[in-house]
Chains A and B, each alone.
Chain A
Amino acid sequence: MKIAIVTTKVPFLYGGAEFLADSLCSKLSEYGHQSQVISYPFAWVPKEAILDSIMATKLSVIDNTDLVIALKFPAYYVKHPKKKLWLLHQFRQAYDLHNTEYGMFSDSNPSDVAIRQAIKTMDNKVLRDLEGKIFTNSKVVSDRLFKYNGIKSEVLFPPLMDASIYKVTGECGDYIFYPSRVNHSKRQWMVVEAMRYTKSAVKLVVAGKGDSPDDEKFLMELIEKYSLQDKVTYLNRFISEEEKVTLFEKALAGIYVPFDEDSYGYVTLEGFQAGKAMISCKDAGGTDVVVKDGETGYMTDSTPEAIAEAMDKMYLNKPKTIEMGLNGLPLLEKLGITWDNVIRRLTE
């Protein structure tokens, strides 16, 4: 099948959504389809540009294509007889972000009210027509879609792009591994602080560049302040995929504790691919989909003390930790977090 993945982009930016579009494209090719990513430029300044962008996309015609998979607002407005949605997010400023500090429309400005209303009305119509063919990448997005538009959808979790580079070696080291960009909301700082409270010989390895130099400095100062140099290693640089694989394979377990994210994060999937149990926090957002307390890892309160306790448990009962690590992959299988499942649902 010839499959066009249509999405929206801000020129010169490449982020998670662009990566997912490219991943889906290469996976579709692996599964024998012909696939191509089509990205429409999207602008929201001035605010009228949002409506222009909707119209521009609506008037675009996709020829020579059997199936269109749309990922983002307003790419799903594109004209095609066979269209499915794998929605990564709506235009949140018109919905859940409205009247928060991240919103952009004022209820007292008639023009703002009209634009926001137009977005909602057009969304309702186009989404209603697609009902039954709408997937989202997380429960949060599905919930929002139902809450604000009354549209039902099915969650189709995005799998790891290249799982084949990981293997379960059975090695079991003495450190917990946290690979991720370093910033305040990923809360590496909380994990470093947890190391003040551990009672066992468990160690911590944090790897990743800071979003800003200050983010890195903050972590390094914490380590120094509490004299944690012997227990905590911080690799403040970009680490290669190979390096990440090796660090995961030699680890005791992994940890991923961002604040209130929509999805479970690729880090948790990487940990499972390496056969490692994962620690996460109850307020991390989507991680609870895959990190099941006592089954594939530990879900703790978001305090250094609670995290420390989970780390000690991991270290002191290694057979249980190893067993939980091995439960990860079967759980992903059960939840349909596999490309087999994603490709089947999107193309059937």
Chain B
Amino acid sequence: MKIIVASTIVPFIYGGGTSIVDWLVLKLNEYGHQAESIKLPYSSDINQMMSQTVGLRMFHLEDYCERLIPIRMPSYQLQHPEKYLWFIHHYREVYDLWDTEFSPFPHTEKNCAIREYVMRSDDVSLREAKKIFTNSQVVSNRLTKFNALDSTVVYPPLFDISSFRCNSYGDYIYYSSRICSHKRQLLAVQAMKYTKTPVKLVITGKSERPQDAEEIYYEIKYNHLEDRVTVIDRWISDEEKAKFLSDCLAAIYIPYDEDSYGYPSLEAHHSQKAVISCKDSGGTDELIVDGYNGYLTDPTPQALASVYDEMYLDKNKTETMGRNGLKRIDELQINWDNVVRRFTE
């Protein structure tokens, strides 16, 4: 089948939103389809919102493909008779974040009108879709709440799992992610003050701002945790990461209120390691069942510390939970067979 995967981009910004597009295109081709991506620039300037939306509706793709898969908002404004969405998020600043401190827009009359326009035009264009898939239950719930639309969750898998393996269950908890305040590596370190066992912590990832790493270093130094906490503040290769995962006791992923379970959790599970997350981390609770393939704790150093200790002391259970991680990925059908089937059937 000839398929165009469409998305919007901000030039020179690369991240999860662009990799999911590239990965889907590669996989569709691998499965014998003819797929290509179209990435259109989109400015999040609220004053340009309306005209840009009109622009997206004027492209003609109907003769170029049998199916259109729009991904990042608002690429679903593109028109096509066979539109299958993989909806990954709303323009959240005007939806669920509108009434919170995270929305940069004051509630002026003009902004309120633009918001109304965005929501109404979303209502129209989302309803043109033959099917709406989302990347998480959180996002599906928002579609129900704000747009009164049903959708089906299709979880995004990792592109390549071949390097992930389990070599041993060592003595360290592993946190792999870029270092920033929102991912709360600092909280993971603070927990180490309260542990009663010799459990260790390894953090790898490039810091977004120098002060994020400095805070962590200060915490380590001030509490004399140098022997038990290792921080590697740089970009690490996939193989390095796979090695850390293959020998860790368990993994930890505790961002604040994210939509999805996060690729680090999947990587840990593919390495047969349990994952510690927090109750306020957001989408991780769709993957992690407390006590089965990891733990969902309160976001406090003390609560995390007691989980670290428990995992260290009851290694049998920790190992079982690690192996359950792989089963959990199957239960949720987090694989490309499922993704490709859903979008092409």
Point out residues on A near B: beta carbons under 8 Å. Answer: 2, 4, 10-12, 34, 36, 38-41, 43, 45, 49, 52-53, 55-65
Contacts and interface: CB of A to CB of B under 8 A. Distances in A.
B60 A49 contact: yes
Contacts of B39: 38
B59 A41 contact: yes
B58 A59 contact: yes
B38 A41 contact: yes
Given A43-B60, A43-B64, 9 more contacts: A4-B11, A36-B12, A39-B38, A43-B63, A55-B58, A57-B55, A59-B52, A61-B45, A61-B52
B66 to A, nearest CB: 12
Closest 4 CB pairs of A and B: A59-B55, A43-B60, A56-B58, A61-B43
Interface in B1-41: 2, 4, 9-13, 34, 36, 38-41
A320 B10 CA distance: 55
Contact of A63 (B10, B34, B55, B64): B10
B54 interface: yes
B63 to A, nearest CB: 6
A53 B59 contact: yes
A169 to B, nearest CB: 40
A34 B12 contact: yes
Nearest to B6: A41
A12 B1 CA distance: 12
Interface of B: 2, 4, 9-13, 34, 36, 38-45, 48, 51-52, 54-56, 58-61, 63-65
Contacts of A55: 55, 58
Of B34, B44, B45, B64, the most chain A CB neighbours within 10 A belong to B64
A36 B60 CA distance: 23
Nearest to B65: A11
A263 B42 CA distance: 35
Contact of B34 (A10, A12, A53): A12
A65 B58 contact: no
Nearest to A52: B58
Contacts of B56: 56
Contacts of B12: 2, 34, 36, 64-65
A192 B55 CA distance: 52
Contact of B51 (A38, A52, A57, A59): A59
Contact of B41 (A34, A38, A49): A38
B45 to A, nearest CB: 7
B63 A45 contact: yes
20 contacts: A2-B11, A4-B11, A4-B41, A10-B64, A11-B4, A11-B64, A12-B36, A41-B38, A41-B64, A43-B59, A43-B64, A45-B60, A52-B58, A55-B55, A56-B59, A59-B51, A60-B40, A62-B11, A63-B41, A65-B11
A64 B11 contact: yes
Contacts of B10: 63-64
Of B41, B59, B61, the most chain A CB neighbours within 10 A belong to B41
Nearest to A63: B43
Contacts of B43: 61-63
A209 B79 CA distance: 38
Nearest to A39: B38
B58 A63 contact: no
A58 B55 contact: yes
A10 B43 CA distance: 24
Nearest to B41: A62
Contacts of A62: 11, 41, 43
Contact of A53 (B11, B13, B40, B60): B60
Contacts of A2: 11-12
Contact of B52 (A12, A60, A64): A60
A57 B56 CA distance: 9
A65 B52 CA distance: 17
Contacts of B40: 38, 40, 60
Contacts of B63: 43, 45
A243 to B, nearest CB: 27
A58 B278 CA distance: 46
